[in-house]
Structures are given as C-alpha cells and as structure tokens.
Amino acid sequence: MSRYEPAVTEPKWQSVWDKAGVFLAHHDKARPKYYVLEMFPYPSGRIHMGHVRNYTMGDVVARYKASCGFSVLHPMGWDAFGMPAENAAMERGGHPKDWTYSNIADMRAQMKPLGLSIDWTREFATCDPEYYGQQQAMFIDMMEKGLVYRKAAVVNWDPVDMTVLANEQVIDGKGWRSGAAVERRELTQWFFRISDYSEELLEALDGLKDWPEKVRLMQANWIGKSRGLQFAFDTVGAPAGHEKLDVYTTRPDTLLGASFAAIAPDHPLARALEATNPAVAAFVADCRKGGTSEEAIETAEKIGFDTGVRVKHPLDPTWEMPVWIANFILMDYGTGAIFGCPAHDQRDLDFARKYSLPVTDVFEAVEGGVAVGTDAFVPLKSERVRYVKGFAGETIQTGEEAVATAIAYAEEKGFGHGVTNFRLRDWGISRQRYWGCPIPVIHCAKCGVVPEAKANLPIRLPDDVTFDVPGNPLDRHPTWRDCTCPQCGAKARRETDTMDTFVDSSWYYARFTAPHAATPTDAAEADYWMNVDQYIGGVEHAILHLLYSRFFARAMHATGHLPAKAIEPFNALFTQGMVTHEIYMTRDATGRPVYHLPEDVTDGKLADGTAVEIIPSAKMSKSKKNVVDPMSIIEAFGADTARWFVMSDSPPERDVEWTASGAEAAFKHLGRVWRLAHEVDTRGAGDASQDAALLKAAHRAINDVTLGIEGFAFNKSVAALYGLANAVSKSDASAGAKRQAMTIMAQLMSPMTPHLAEEIWAMLGGSGLVAKAPWPKADPALLQDDTIILPIQINGKRRAEISVPKDMPAAEVEKLVLADETVIKVLAGSTPKKLIVVPGRIVNVVI
C-alpha cells in the first residue's frame, strides 16, 4: 500500500488549481460576492508561523465561502515601504528597492507552497510607482477638499546624527545609534484632518456589529470624547498678552479643591516666560529631553517649576494660586493648561505632595468619608458622593450630575462654558525619510505651497541615493528637489517629506478591487467588491491602522473614490492571537543569557548534555531564538500539517504555542485520515446495521464543522473532524457507508487541508475538484436525539441522572425526578423547597 506523501501530492494539486484558475476572482453579478482579506505582510524576507496562521484562517474562510456559492475575492500584496529597508541599506549597503523586491520574491516563494486560495493576479506592493502614484493623486484630491494642512509638530531629534528618530529608535531617551540624549524639536509637518471626523468615527463604532467589542472599546477610548468646562483664569504678574489663562477641565465640580494651575512646557505662556527668564528656559529645556511618545512622557518623573505667575480663582477673586510649568501636561490636549485638584486626581496629588502644595477634599464617600492621604479619592463618576466643597447642585450627588450642574453654573455666572473635547489628534503623516511615498507638493517662492499637476504623477523616488550619511537622502539629492512650479512655471523646490506608511495601508483593500486601474479605484469594481466582508489580522492593529483606514475610506468617499456604502470598509473584523514558543536559555560565564534554537534542544538538553532553562510561551522573536521556520515544517511534514496544526487546539483569537510534538501529532492524524480513506473497502466485513449510526456521526460533523467555521472557532471544527475520524475508525459499517462518510470528511477538511482533501476526494471517485464542490448540508433529522440524559442536581450539585424523551413536559419530568432512588434517599420523606426544571437541560432539587 502506498503512503501519505504530501511532498508529492501538494505540488500536484497546486498545479491543478493553478491551471484551472480556481482562485481567480470573478466580477459575477449573478452571484453574491465575498471579500476575505488578511492584513498584508511587511516583506521582511521570511514568513513566520504568525503569517501561516493568519493566512490559513483567511484561506479557510475563503475556501468555505467559495464552496457555499460565493464569488470570492482573496488577494495578497505587500506593505513594502518603511524603515527596515533603509536600515538594511545603511547596515549592509545596497538599495532599499532591491532589498524590498528581493524580499517580496522570497516571501512569495515561501507562501506559494502553503496552497492558499489567493488570486495572485491582483498582487501589488505599496512601493510600486503604479500604487503610490494613485496615492499621490488622492493626496491632491484631499488637499482640494481641505483635508490636508501643515502645522508645527514635535519630533524626536538626535542632536549628534542631526536626524529625526522614530519612537522605536529612542531607547531610554537616547538615540539608538548615536547614544545621544534625544530632544523634542518642532518641525513643520503635513497633517490629515482626521479630527474633523472624531464624532462620526466614534458614533459609527456602534454599527460595527461584527467587530470585537474590545476593539470598538479601544477605539472609543482613543477618540476620547469628553464633556468639560473651559474657562479663563485672570493672571497676576504674567507677561503682556497673557492676561488670561484658558484651561479645560473634565471635573469642574472640583473647582474649590484647586491648589495650583499647570501649563505645558510648550504653552505660549511658558514660551513667553522662557524668552526673558533663564531659569524657566533651563527648566523647559529639561522638559524637552526625552522622546515624544506618550508613554515616555507619562512615565517620566513628574517635575514642575513655579513660574511666579499667579491666577485668581474664578469663584473667589481674592484667592490666588501659583502657575506651574509641568512636564506631564500635554499641549495637544484641551488648552494645554489645567488646574490641579490633588484630592481627586492621583497625578495632581503626587505633584502636590512633591512640591508641598495644599490638598483640599471636595467630596467624600457618602458613608464614612476619610481625608485624602497618599491615595487620591477617585470614585466612578456614576457613584454618589457627599460634597463638602460643592458650589452647585445637591450635597449628595453623582460626579456626573455635579459636573453638569457646575458647567451650568459657570455658564450662568458667565465665567466659562461647556465644551466637548476629543483626545484624537490630527494625523501627522510627514516623514523625513526616503523609502516612502513622496508627498506630491511643490514649494514655489511666488505661489507658495502648491500641489503637483496630476499629469506629472507619479512623483517617483529617485534611484540614485546613498545611505552613508544619516538623514533624508531626498533632502540632499542634487537634482530631485529641483522642479518647476505647476502654477507659474518658475523654478521651485519639491517637498522632500514622504508619507507615513500607515497611509499606504489605509486604502490597499480598495485597490485590490481594481489593482491596475488608471485611477485609484474603478467605480464599478469597488461597487461590486466593497466592503471587505471579513478582515483578519493582529490585535496590535486594533487602534491605529484600523482607525486610519476608517478615516481614509471616508476621505476617499469625499473625494469620489469610494461609494458611500464603503465608508466603513470592514464589515467584520477578526483579531487573531500570536504564535508563541518556549525560550531555551543558558547563561555565559558572566551570567548573561544565551538563547538556543528549538532544533538544537532535545528533552531540555543541548547536544553536549547541558540542561537549558525553559521560559514558557513567549512571542516568537529572532533575538530570543524561539522561532520555528515554516519552511522546515513544510519540508518535513507538508503544508497541510502546518495548516492543520495552526488551526487546532487554540481558539484563533488566542495565542497558540508551537510545539514539535503537536506538529508531529498533526502529521500523524493526516496520515490516519489518508489511511481511513484508502481502506474504506478493505477493512472489516461490513455490518449494514451500523450504517445509520455512521451517517449520523457524519452529519453531526457537517453541523459542527460548519458552525466552527462560521463562528471563527476553527479549533472546534478540528475537534469535530477528530470525532468523525474516530467514528469511521471504530465503525463496522458497510463499505458504502464508510465511503460516504469519508467523502464528507474530504469536503469538511478541504478548507483546512486542501491538498489532502483533493487526494481523498479523487481516491473515492468524487467528481471534479473538491475545491469546486458545493459545501455539504447536514440533514436536520439526523442531528436529533430522541432521548436525552437529564442530570439531577440537589442544591446545585449533580447527584443523579435520568434518561427521558427529549420533549417530555416538565410536570412529568418532576414525577420521574421525585421517583428517583437517589432523590428519595436524600429527601428522606421531606418535601423539597423548590424543584427547578430547565427543559432539556437540567433539574435542580432544592431542599
């Protein structure tokens, strides 16, 4: 008998699919369409297990939907711009373009053997001029619609390399190459007006029913809508022009607990003081040290500086408070100035204790109030508290009520007004880097900043650049910057900033519907294929990428590139977990960790017998060497084994731990299925009386596998398929029934292990390709059980069970329960307090 040989059968079926064009997406108006998209990869050069898992999930959905009769679009492309290509050029020489395209070729070659049902004719990379040229055209359209503007914004500045650093390149406040202390510096940058859409992006979240709740929550928190009070303090001793200090607060009810005002280091008042006061200038310079990330700012030590300027309390002009500059106040949020109420804000309290500022309780717990010590009293706003320093509303009220009445009070007295604020900031897209989409704008001495003429697009990146000097090669290119003004024809200078790579990934889903159109999209194609019915990717993109894409789809609609129905481009979203692996570690003579590859470790020991320390389940990363190369798994066991493994056991949204034994077990199981199919006619005598039971098992599997796929619980589909394999293996049913069961098995397995499924399908005489066969339907009559086992609980603990017809009325069930031996014994003649019968589920006897 021959064996299960994926190395032979997998390439065979891939070539059959390819020749038949099975996976080409057809714009077929007669059929419903289904668009499955996995987040496209960055072309690092090697695929990893996370990719295998991500693309297998999408493939399962794509193949399943195709067999359900949908016209499926399942494309693939490359998120190809970005820093790693420039870093590679700096470290190893070569050109980012060559590095990127060669990586794409490598990764495509590694993905093809997985047998994914992808329409490769639609492939593109975001660094193709054909793609980014269309992106430039949309940028110009967005400029015309007023969705683009320039303003000053802070960047991480490396004073030694004289270059802008990404947050990732700032390590402990130092530049990653130079080691110099990073400073925050202002540059004029390009922005998209995403904040114009704050309200809409927030409200539309409610309509995204098939998105994970946690993603919607994270986005809502990120947009951060708040209602608060804005008012102006009168200042005392401030420079001219700063007679008022505008502040914003979400807790105006705590106004009588104020003990200081604080402004951001970049606040105009701080700037004015800095100009004349060297002590302020020194402090502000200190604040500007370190990176720009919110994390860096929030976790930095809280420092402050008393400016000597004072403000008058709006409720009591005789009450003056100091104005401090504090490094944790963000200029981008609210007015860049606050008042501190230490008793009810932990950060303010820490600040007040550090600088010996007063702490005044405004409210306390309704029952047993205690004065604030080292922990601020910050109850939920929905909780009722007793105001000891209130000025509007009831003494006992919730925070929400108190805030509303405080705003009303301020408006009535005329010292402030209610304001709705959003945390969401406009999207800064300028990057001072080479390997990105050039911003299609020209700086003309006469006309100012003007868009490039569309006829001149794409503005291509020049190839003749070098990376031997830090900084943006476009900025120092001898001729690329030179151009003529599209308005007046005079000599002008080209913009040298390129776009954030998030722009590239904010519309690729739309481009896949017409990847080679001469405009960004083709209306008819976009209308047929949009929206993405199922989007699949890592939860690490829950906020930025998805929010930017939602904005960009709206901008594309506003500029006529997408239909109105596509402003929420992703109907359903699924966020999958990571692939993890144990880390194997030893230590060198100095105690520093040394990591070892999984293939070098057997039974917890290295080849030389040294025991390794095992650190459980960590994200696969090259630096920790806990990586498994998908290619070696495919070579050893075949693509179907890798696919089967990543679909088994772990629910898709959770992390999956890669284990060598698990991979082997997956391979063994596929071999077993192959054997079961091979032996349908030869094993056992065959007992036709068992046919019905086997058929029932097969139909239960159809039901369970289908539910698993529909519900994104592929691990449950896999479990159901194990169940069916066990049923076939144990059954003595006739050859015909086994053949039928294994044919169903082939169909049910085809989304996950498509090559094996084709092989079995062909072996059993199925017609055509299983990839094109319609999905089997479960016969509802075969899913029913006539009698069920009903557990009996006594006081919530399971004590007995009875077997009853499945739709027996509750009254009759009660009789049977009370007649049960165990129940009689426990009751010992008494009557139960309560008898709860949950039909078809359980009985609880309360005594």
Partner RNA sequence: GCCCUCGUGGUGGAAUGGUAGACACGACAGACUCAAAAUCUGUUGGCGCAAGCCGUGUCGGUUCGAGUCCGACCGAGGGCACCA
Write the secondary structure of 737-771 as one string of H (helix), E (strand) and C (coil).
HHHHHHHHHHHHHCCCCHHHHHHHHHHCCCCCCHH
Q: Based on the shown chain and the rule CB under 7 A, indicate whether residue 539 belongs to the binding site for RNA.
A: yes
Shortest separation between residue 472's beta carbon and RNA, angstroms: 10
Q: Based on the shown chain and the rule CB under 7 A, indicate whether residue 172 belongs to the binding site for RNA.
A: no
| CB closer to RNA, 46 vs 347 | 347
| Dihedral pair phi/psi, residue 448, rounded to 5° | 85, -140
Shortest separation between residue 632's beta carbon and RNA, angstroms: 19
* CA distances (Å), origin 808, targets 337, 501, 791, 803, 818: 70, 63, 14, 11, 15
Q: Based on the shown chain and the rule CB under 7 A, indicate whether residue 173 belongs to the binding site for RNA.
A: no
With tokens 């596929």, the residue in question is 670
Coil/strand/helix, residue 597: coil
Span of 232-240, 459-467, 715-723, 765-773 interacting with RNA by CB under 7 A: 715-723
| CB closer to RNA, 3 vs 19 | 3
Q: Based on the shown chain and the rule CB under 7 A, indicate whether residue 793 belongs to the binding site for RNA.
A: yes
Q: Distance between CA 245 and CA 269 in Å, rounded?
A: 8
CB 226 within 8 A of CB 251: no
Shortest separation between residue 538's beta carbon and RNA, angstroms: 7
Shortest separation between residue 579's beta carbon and RNA, angstroms: 11
Site string for RNA, 108-147 (x = CB under 7 A): ----------------------------------------
Q: Based on the shown chain and the rule CB under 7 A, indicate whether residue 540 belongs to the binding site for RNA.
A: yes
Q: Distance between CA 216 and CA 209 in Å, rounded?
A: 9
| CB closer to RNA, 504 vs 525 | 504
CB 683 within 8 A of CB 728: no
**Closest by Cα among 95, 81, 80, 91 to 473:** 95
Q: Based on the shown chain and the rule CB under 7 A, indicate whether residue 198 belongs to the binding site for RNA.
A: no
Q: Distance between CA 439 and CA 138 in Å, rounded?
A: 11
Shortest separation between residue 318's beta carbon and RNA, angstroms: 34
Q: Based on the shown chain and the rule CB under 7 A, indicate whether residue 546 belongs to the binding site for RNA.
A: no
Coil/strand/helix, residue 178: coil
Q: Based on the shown chain and the rule CB under 7 A, indicate whether residue 565 belongs to the binding site for RNA.
A: no
| CB closer to RNA, 332 vs 464 | 332
Q: Distance between CA 376 and CA 363 in Å, rounded?
A: 11
Q: Distance between CA 163 and CA 86 in Å, rounded?
A: 14
Span of 213-221, 232-240, 309-317, 441-449 interacting with RNA by CB under 7 A: 213-221
With tokens 């910057």, the residue in question is 481
- Tell me which of 137, 148, 165, 402 binds RNA, using CB under 7 A: 165
| CB closer to RNA, 489 vs 840 | 840
Backbone angle region of 150, left / alpha / beta, with phi > 0 → left and psi within -120 to 50 → alpha? beta
Q: Based on the shown chain and the rule CB under 7 A, indicate whether residue 213 belongs to the binding site for RNA.
A: yes
Joined tokens for residue 165: 């650093």
Sequence-ordered list of residues with C-beta below 8 angstroms from that of 758, at least 6 positions apart, any chain: 9, 13, 16, 746, 750, 769, 770, 771
Coil/strand/helix, residue 229: strand
- Tell me which of 106, 649, 679, 779 binds RNA, using CB under 7 A: 649
Span of 225-233, 249-257, 460-468, 540-548 interacting with RNA by CB under 7 A: 540-548
Shortest separation between residue 757's beta carbon and RNA, angstroms: 18
Span of 19-27, 76-84, 110-118, 227-235 interacting with RNA by CB under 7 A: 76-84
Q: Based on the shown chain and the rule CB under 7 A, indicate whether residue 730 belongs to the binding site for RNA.
A: yes
Q: Based on the shown chain and the rule CB under 7 A, indicate whether residue 543 belongs to the binding site for RNA.
A: yes
Site string for RNA, 420-439 (x = CB under 7 A): ---xxx-xx-xxx-------
- Tell me which of 421, 456, 659, 690 binds RNA, using CB under 7 A: 659
Question: Beta strands 225-236 and 304-313: pairing type?
Answer: antiparallel
| CB closer to RNA, 61 vs 790 | 790
- Tell me which of 61, 88, 89, 164 binds RNA, using CB under 7 A: 164
Q: Based on the shown chain and the rule CB under 7 A, indicate whether residue 221 belongs to the binding site for RNA.
A: yes
Q: Based on the shown chain and the rule CB under 7 A, indicate whether residue 105 belongs to the binding site for RNA.
A: no
Beta-carbon neighbour count of residue 318 at 10 Å?
Answer: 6
Residue positions counted in the chain: 847
- Tell me which of 161, 655, 732, 779 binds RNA, using CB under 7 A: 655
Shortest separation between residue 296's beta carbon and RNA, angstroms: 8
Question: Beta strands 656-657 and 579-587: pairing type?
Answer: parallel
- Tell me which of 83, 204, 558, 693 binds RNA, using CB under 7 A: 83
β-sheet bridge partners, residue 244:
234
Q: Based on the shown chain and the rule CB under 7 A, indicate whether residue 15 belongs to the binding site for RNA.
A: no
Q: Based on the shown chain and the rule CB under 7 A, indicate whether residue 542 belongs to the binding site for RNA.
A: yes
Q: Distance between CA 139 and CA 133 in Å, rounded?
A: 10
Joined tokens for residue 258: 């104020």
Q: Distance between CA 58 and CA 41 in Å, rounded?
A: 13
Residues 605-624 that bind RNA (CB under 7 A): 617-619
| CB closer to RNA, 167 vs 519 | 167
Q: Based on the shown chain and the rule CB under 7 A, indicate whether residue 218 belongs to the binding site for RNA.
A: yes
Half-sphere exposure of 429 (CA within 13 A, CB side): 28
Q: Distance between CA 745 and CA 85 in Å, rounded?
A: 45
**Closest by Cα among 525, 520, 528 to 555:** 520
Most distant CA atoms of the chain, gap in Å = 106
**Closest by Cα among 818, 840, 670 to 755:** 670
- Tell me which of 151, 565, 654, 777 binds RNA, using CB under 7 A: 654
Span of 447-455, 486-494, 753-761, 791-799 interacting with RNA by CB under 7 A: 791-799
Span of 212-220, 244-252, 557-565, 634-642 interacting with RNA by CB under 7 A: 212-220
| CB closer to RNA, 671 vs 766 | 671
- Tell me which of 650, 717, 731, 740 binds RNA, using CB under 7 A: 650
Sequence-ordered list of residues with C-beta below 8 angstroms from that of 702, at least 6 positions apart, any chain: 744, 748, 776, 777, 778
Shortest separation between residue 559's beta carbon and RNA, angstroms: 21
Residues 355-414 that bind RNA (CB under 7 A): none
Q: Based on the shown chain and the rule CB under 7 A, indicate whether residue 345 belongs to the binding site for RNA.
A: no
Residues 824-843 that bind RNA (CB under 7 A): 834, 836, 838, 841-842
| CB closer to RNA, 129 vs 224 | 224
Q: Based on the shown chain and the rule CB under 7 A, indicate whether residue 629 belongs to the binding site for RNA.
A: no
Sequence-ordered list of residues with C-beta below 8 angstroms from that of 776, at least 6 positions apart, any chain: 702, 744, 747, 748
Shortest separation between residue 838's beta carbon and RNA, angstroms: 5
Q: Based on the shown chain and the rule CB under 7 A, indicate whether residue 456 belongs to the binding site for RNA.
A: no
| CB closer to RNA, 312 vs 716 | 716
Coil/strand/helix, residue 181: strand
| CB closer to RNA, 733 vs 769 | 733
Residues 34-73 that bind RNA (CB under 7 A): 42
> How many residues of this chain interact with RNA, rule: CB under 7 A?
96
| CB closer to RNA, 232 vs 804 | 804
Q: Based on the shown chain and the rule CB under 7 A, indicate whether residue 163 belongs to the binding site for RNA.
A: no
Q: Based on the shown chain and the rule CB under 7 A, indicate whether residue 706 belongs to the binding site for RNA.
A: no
**Closest by Cα among 705, 758, 637, 644 to 22:** 758
Q: Based on the shown chain and the rule CB under 7 A, indicate whether residue 299 belongs to the binding site for RNA.
A: yes
Backbone angle region of 121, left / alpha / beta, with phi > 0 → left and psi within -120 to 50 → alpha? alpha
**Closest by Cα among 774, 778, 712 to 63:** 774
Which amino acid, 584? Y
Q: Based on the shown chain and the rule CB under 7 A, indicate whether residue 719 belongs to the binding site for RNA.
A: yes
